[in-house]
């Protein structure tokens, strides 16, 4: 399945699931973001969807701040959910009209990127926050395996190399961590140095090996769950420092 088909199928499914969970208990606390309720998370996602839709529809070549956009109706969680439902539909329509290779502004280091950047970023953000909302209000359904593997690649190959100081806190002496999906294709070697982290997609021995399903690895490295669901071999203190310092 191509990246557009994969990401938009998951985006279409995770939007209603996210909002259905929010409707069960808007006041529930979100574990991953202390101080946030599910209602606050709905406002956040509605803002992000409004911002991303504006970026995608305009095909802008210059940056636009998400802070320019509202978080929906205040003091009425039900109205905010319906507002967010409309914002999700608008972004889905905009993404469907976007070509994977169309040039467009992104917040990656390169600035101008391709349409696929927005497809995968919005699908991953929604999938993770769908899990957050379901976790807060009941049982969280598993993340999609193939989407999770792509999300791991985004996290490890795009975000982590930009997080120089966070990576140094994990290790500044060349320590390595090998991340290996056991259910779908995907493995990466992370090397932590004084200059930050370097990620390569390869099979190699690391000071720490972390193996598990793509979904479990994704939740672990996004600091949603602990290491109980994965297998670890070697220096697990790297994961402890990751959980403390690698935050997006």
Strands 231-234, 208-212: pairing is antiparallel
What pLDDT digit, counting tens, does each position of 155-179 carry?
999 999 999 999 999 999 999 999 9
Length of the chain: 248
Q: Are 145 and 183 in contact (CB under 8 A)?
A: yes
Neighbours of 103 (CB within 10 A): 12
**What parts of the chain have a pLDDT lower than 50?**
none
Per-residue pLDDT, 109: 86
> Any alpha helices (H) in the chain, and if so which ranges?
3-24, 38-58, 77-96, 115-137, 145-154, 164-170, 214-221, 237-245
| 3-state SS assignment for residue 169 | helix
| pTM metric for this prediction | 0.96
What pLDDT digit, counting tens, does each position of 166-220 carry?
999 999 999 999 999 999 999 999 999 999 999 999 999 999 999 999 999 999 9
How far apart CA 168 and CA 161 sit, in angstroms, is 11
Q: Walk me through the domains of the chain, giving residue ranges and CATH numbers.
A: 3-141 (1.20.120.450), 146-245 (3.30.1050.10)
Q: Are 138 and 191 in contact (CB under 8 A)?
A: no
């Amino acid at each position: 399945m191509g990246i557009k088909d994969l990401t938009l199928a998951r985006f279409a499914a995770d939007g209603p699931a996210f909002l259905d969970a929010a409707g069960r208990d808007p006041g529930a606390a979100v574990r991953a973001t202390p101080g946030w309720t599910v209602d606050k998370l709905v406002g956040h996602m509605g803002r992000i969807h409004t911002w991303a839709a504006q970026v995608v529809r305009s095909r802008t070549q210059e940056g636009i701040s998400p802070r320019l956009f509202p978080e929906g109706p205040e003091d009425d969680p039900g109205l905010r959910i319906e507002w967010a439902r409309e914002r999700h539909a608008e972004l889905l329509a905009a993404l469907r009209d976007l070509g994977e290779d169309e040039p467009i502004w992104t917040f990656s280091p390169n600035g101008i990127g391709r349409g696929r950047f927005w497809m995968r970023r919005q699908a991953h953000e929604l999938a993770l926050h769908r899990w957050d909302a379901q976790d807060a209000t009941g049982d969280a359904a598993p993340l999609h395996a193939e989407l999770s593997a792509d999300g791991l690649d985004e996290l490890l190959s795009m975000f982590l190399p930009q997080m120089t100081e966070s990576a140094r806190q994990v290790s500044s002496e060349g320590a390595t961590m090998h991340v290996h999906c056991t259910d779908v294709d995907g493995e990466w070697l992370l090397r932590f140095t004084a200059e930050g982290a370097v990620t390569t997609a390869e099979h190699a021995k690391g000071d720490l090996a972390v193996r598990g399903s793509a979904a479990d690895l994704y939740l672990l490295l996004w600091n949603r769950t602990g290491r109980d669901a994965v297998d670890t071999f070697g220096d697990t203190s790297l994961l402890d420092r990751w959980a403390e310092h690698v935050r997006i």
